[in-house]
Structure 1
Amino acid sequence: MKVLLPVDGSELSMEAVRFALRMRQGGLSLSAVLANVQEPASLYEMLVAHDPDVIDQVSAEAGLHALQRAQALLDEAGVDYECEVAKGDPAHTLIDISERFGCDLVVMGARGTSALRSAMLGSVSNEVLHASTVPVVIVKPVDPEGV
């Protein structure tokens, strides 16, 4: 089964990767697509950088950096995976990636690293849940008190 694992560098996105690995330990045949979506540059960033190629390069490097911890976990577990760093609206871009790579399942965290998006109670995961043509597993934060 090919699983899309959106990774934004947050601990919750890493917990989603660990959840997918637990499913594999339970017997699921698993290959993965690690995806990171960079939001488009702000007007301020475009004015300061003066060169759109610099913004694209920095964005791509940030995306690759965000995937490193997830790659290490998958390497350690011996899971085959592909990586995709894209730019755009996170939810719609993740749906596009899922379709383009032929994913059978999406496993993602309920909230990402963006403060605004966290305030919206997981708007990206909610939008992916409703727009995806394949099943979506949303991994919630672990309650530290175990309640």
Structure 2
Amino acid sequence: MKILLPVDGSALSLEAVRHAIRLVRDGLQAEFVLANVQEPSSLYEMVVVHDPQALRRMAAEAGTHALAAADALLNEADIDHEMEVATGDPAHTLIDLIDNYGCDVVIMGAHGMGEGSAAFGAVAQELLRHAPVPVMIVRPGERAEGAADTLEGGVQEQPDNPP
């Protein structure tokens, strides 16, 4: 089974990675694709920087930085994984990555960096609606999102995707 793990560097996205690791420790045979999607450069960034290659390089570095903690968790658990930093609209790009990597399921945090207090962030909602595979949402537990590595998160599964 191949599992897509969208990671933005937030505590909740890392809890989704920890949850996936617990599933493997409980006997699930899985490989993972860690993915980070960087938003396209804004007009302001393009005007100020003047160098499209520099903007792409900065986005790639930011994505690699966002994946670093999740990569370390999977390496420590000795779990096979691939990593992808992509640019584009996050939800649509993640759906493309599901197809490109042949993923069977997505495990992700309920919301990521910068998203409000809604039960699910915009990217999670879009994936729940449009992903061609099941999406498992890891929600924050009783403790604060920034808690230690042993943070217990609640999990909500979405086994079937509505049209």
Q: Normalising by structure 1, what TM-score? A: 0.93
Q: Secondary structure at the residue paired with 2:116?
A: helix
Q: What residue ranges of structure 2 are gaps of 5+ in the alignment? A: 145-151, 153-163
Partner of 1:109: 109
Aligned residues: 144
Give the Å deviation of 1:112.
1.0
Q: 2:116 aligns with which of 118, 122, 145?
A: 118
> Runs of 4+ in structure 1 displaced over 2 angstroms?
117-121
2:51 maps to 1:51: yes
Deviations 1:114-146 (A, max 9, x none): 2xx436641100101111111100010122289
Change beyond 3 A, Cα 1:47–1:119: farther
Q: What residue ranges of structure 1 are gaps of 5+ in the alignment? A: none
Partner of 1:96: 96
Give the whole-Å Cα distance in 1 for the aligned partners of 2:2 and 2:73.
17
Amino acid at match of 1:136: V
Superposition CA RMSD, Å? 1.4
2:135 maps to 1:136: yes
- Identity of paired residues, percent? 56
Deviations 1:53-72 (A, max 9, x none): 11000000100111111111
Give the whole-Å Cα distance in 2 for the aligned partners of 1:83 and 1:54.
21
Q: Which has the higher helix share?
A: 1
Give the Å deviation of 1:13.
0.3
Mapping of residues 1-147 of structure 1, within 5 Å: 1-114=1-114, 117-118=115-116, 121-144=120-143
Q: Secondary structure at the residue paired with 1:9?
A: coil
Give the whole-Å Cα distance in 2 for the aligned partners of 1:79 and 1:54.
33
Q: Secondary structure at the residue paired with 1:118?
A: coil
Q: Normalising by structure 2, what TM-score? A: 0.84
Give the whole-Å Cα distance in 1 for the aligned partners of 2:14 and 2:65.
13
Deviations 1:88-131 (A, max 9, x none): 000000000011100011000011112xx436641100101111
Q: Secondary structure at the residue paired with 2:68?
A: helix
Amino acid at match of 1:133: P
Give the whole-Å Cα distance in 1 for the aligned partners of 2:116 and 2:110.
9
More RCO (CA 8 Å, sep 6+): 1
